[in-house]
Structure 1
Amino acid sequence: MVAGWFSGEGDDFRLLGTRCTRCASVFFPREDNRCRNPGCAGDDLEEIPLSRRGHVWSYTDSRYRPPSPYVSDAELPWEPYALIAVELESERMVVLGQAVPGVTVADLAVGMEVEVVPGVLGEDAETTWTTWYWRPTGVRA
């Protein structure tokens, strides 16, 4: 888990961004130092929860094991996964993420509604690596 990128559980799970109090630009991943908008000199940023839902802007599949720092068990065969670019409902910004396990590119279409849900990338005896997934709103785990 990357500290400060998301919080909550179940229906309260949200990605966390920051908003410039001067120009209202929203950032994800979060920005804690200064506004990244080149037309703004603001440096007062507030944490905000981002929209839970959005629409598929684009998608593809990942057919190779990515390098570190991505966590995957080298002992297990690689399982491809769908990667989705989602335009958030309110913020109108695009956020990338994996589809929930079991959802493939064959299940996706540009414009379909998805929601952010918590997920686990991997775990061992000491650590659970958490993340977020995008799930089509018509799919329930």
Structure 2
Amino acid sequence: MTSYAPRPRRPQNCNTFQFCARAGYAGPVPEVIRQEPAVDGWFATDDAGVPHLIGSKCPECGTYVFPPRANNCPNPGCASDTLESVALSTRGKLWSYTENRYAPPPPYPSPDPFEPFAVAAVELAEEGLIVLGKVVEGTLAADLKVGMEMELTTMPLYTDDDGVQRIVHAWKRAGDDAERSDEKERRK
């Protein structure tokens, strides 16, 4: 009889990712020398460090697009070939969510051991556009409820061999920072 047990996972190169030290692996983990977006052009931060998504807007029909692109309005009723770059809302309502319980396959970075994380689809307050993104560490699907207010932030995805920490846009529950500050004050 043939066994259909899953194949053992190929070991990750722990010198590459920041999580290896937390997982108890030996070997040097690169020191973070700077942060850069994992995908260029999807978000930016203002002078105060507050992030916002970068999208595109059709000047003819007003349709918004994320991720941004330079041409071809996605509205089938519009023939515009030009889109303008715009800053998108930083808040919205949770439209849907799920919890990723499986590690991505190589070559994509993932911690070992893998920890589940939530993914949220948030409808932006002003544009009505739905944007998918990871939810910050420490917030799982059980902590989320459709319709709740969400706020844009950023979080590290991984650190490469050159010490560049790659960051991505992410969602957090609106008010989480204030709630955590209040909780710290109560504990004093």
Question: Unaligned stretches of 5+ in structure 2?
Answer: 1-37, 181-188
1:21-72 Cα shifts (integer Å, max 9, x gaps): 1111100011212211111111221111110000111111000012356432
Q: Percent identity?
A: 44
1:73-99 Cα shifts (integer Å, max 9, x gaps): 4xx200100111111100111111111
Letter in 2 for 1:112: M
Instruction: Give the one of 91, 111, 116 matched to 2:147.
Output: 111
Letter in 1 for 2:142: A
Instruction: Give the one of 153, 161, 176 matched to 1:139.
Output: 176
Flag the structure with larger Rg.
2
TM-score by length of 2: 0.69
Instruction: Give the one of 67, 76, 81 matched to 1:38.
Output: 76
Alignment RMSD, CA only?
A: 1.7
Letter in 2 for 1:57: W
Tell me by how many angstroms 1:124 deviates: 3.0
5 Å-filtered alignment, 1:1-141, equals: 1-8=38-45, 12-67=50-105, 70-73=108-111, 76-126=112-162, 127-140=164-177
Which one has the bigger strand percentage? Answer: 1
Which one has the bigger helix percentage? Answer: 2
Q: Aligned partners of 1:97, 1:67: CA distance in 2, in Å?
A: 19
Q: Aligned partners of 1:78, 1:85: CA distance in 2, in Å?
A: 22
The number of aligned residues is 139
Question: Which stretches of structure 1, 4 residues or more, deviate above 6 A after TM superposition?
Answer: none
Query: Do the aligned partners of residues 68 and 93 (structure 1) sit closer, same or farther apart at CA in structure 2, a change above 3 Å counting?
Result: farther
